[in-house]
Chain A
Amino acid sequence: MIARAARRRTATPPPAGGGPVPARPLPWLLPVLLFVGLFYLWPIVDALRLAFTDASLLDRDAAFSTEAIGAMLGSPALGTVLRNTAIFTLGSVVGQILLGLAIALLVVRGERNGLRGMLVMRTLVLAAWVIPGIANGIIWQMLFSEAPFGAINSALRLAGLPPVAWLSDPGNAMMSAIIATVWQGTAYSMILLYAALRSIDDTLYEAAAVDAATPWERFRFITLPELRGALLVNAILIVIMTLNTFDVIISLTGGGPGRATEVLALFTYNTVFYNFDLAGGSVLSILLMAISLALAALVAAFLPRAGRR
Chain B
Amino acid sequence: MADLVLDGLTKSFGETEVVHGIDLSVAENEFVVLVGPSGCGKSTTLRMVAGLEAITGGELRIGGRRVNERSPGERDVAMVFQNYALYPHLTVAQNIAFGLRRKRLPRAERNAAVQEIARLLQIEPLLDRRPRALSGGQRQRVAMGRAIIRDPQVFLFDEPLSNLDARLRVQMRLEIKRLHAAKPVTTLYVTHDQTEAMTMADRVVVMNAGRIEQVGPPLEIYRNPRTRFVAEFIGAPAVNLFDARLSAGAGDGLWIELADGTRLSVPGSRRAAYAGFAGRPVVFGLRPEDISIGSGDDPVAPVNMIEPMGVETLAYLGFGGTEACARLTGGHVPRRGDRVPLQLGLERMILIDPATDRVIGATSTET
Give me the interface of A with B, judged by CB distance under 8 Å: 201, 203-204, 206-213, 217, 221-222, 225-226, 309
Contacts and interface: CB of A to CB of B under 8 A. Distances in A.
Contacts of B73: 209-213
A264 to B, nearest CB: 37
Contacts of B320: none
B77 interface: yes
A206 B132 contact: no
A203 B89 contact: no
A206 B143 CA distance: 13
Contacts of A309: 88-89, 130, 132
Contacts of B87: 204, 207-208, 221-222
A226 B71 contact: no
A203 B47 CA distance: 12
Q: Which of B73, B85, B98, B102 counts the most chain A CB atoms within 10 A?
A: B85
A211 B79 CA distance: 9
Nearest to A225: B89
B52 interface: yes
A217 to B, nearest CB: 8
Interface in B241-296: none
10 contacts: A201-B85, A209-B51, A209-B73, A210-B51, A210-B73, A211-B98, A211-B150, A212-B71, A221-B87, A309-B132
Nearest to B81: A203
B143 to A, nearest CB: 8
Contact of A207 (B71, B81, B130, B132): B81
Nearest to A211: B99
A209 B52 contact: yes
A217 B94 CA distance: 14
B333 to A, nearest CB: 39
B44 to A, nearest CB: 13
A202 to B, nearest CB: 9
Interface string B117-128: 000000000000
A222 B86 CA distance: 10
Nearest to A202: B85
A308 to B, nearest CB: 10
A213 B87 CA distance: 12
Contacts of B81: 203, 206-207
Contacts of A212: 71-74, 102
Given A209-B71, A213-B73, A309-B89, A201 B52 contact: no
B25 interface: no
B185 to A, nearest CB: 14
B90 interface: yes
Given A201-B83, A213-B73, A226-B88, 9 more contacts: A206-B50, A206-B72, A207-B85, A207-B86, A209-B51, A209-B73, A211-B146, A211-B150, A221-B89
B100 to A, nearest CB: 10
Nearest to B98: A211
A221 B88 CA distance: 9
A207 B89 contact: no
Interface of B: 50-52, 71-74, 77-79, 81, 83, 85-90, 98-99, 101-102, 130, 132, 146, 150
Closest 10 CB pairs of A and B: A212-B73, A207-B85, A225-B89, A203-B85, A209-B72, A210-B72, A210-B79, A203-B81, A211-B99, A206-B52
A206 B74 CA distance: 13
Nearest to B100: A211
A191 to B, nearest CB: 24
A222 B98 CA distance: 12
Contacts of B88: 204, 225-226, 309
A204 B52 CA distance: 12
Nearest to A309: B89
Contacts of A225: 88-89
Contacts of B83: 201, 203
A212 B88 CA distance: 18
Contacts of A204: 85, 87-88
A217 B90 CA distance: 13
A162 to B, nearest CB: 46
B48 to A, nearest CB: 13
A208 B99 CA distance: 9
Nearest to A221: B87
Contacts of B51: 209-210
A221 B90 contact: yes
A79 B50 CA distance: 61
A80 B254 CA distance: 107
B82 to A, nearest CB: 8
Contacts of A208: 87
B80 to A, nearest CB: 9
A134 B52 CA distance: 48
Contacts of B90: 221
A232 to B, nearest CB: 14
B260 to A, nearest CB: 48
A207 B90 CA distance: 14
Nearest to B73: A212
A170 B86 CA distance: 52
A226 B150 CA distance: 25
A215 to B, nearest CB: 11
B103 to A, nearest CB: 11
A66 to B, nearest CB: 52
Nearest to A209: B72
A225 B86 CA distance: 13
B79 A207 contact: yes
B14 to A, nearest CB: 10
A209 B47 CA distance: 12
Contacts of A213: 73, 98, 101
B90 to A, nearest CB: 7
Contacts of B50: 206, 210
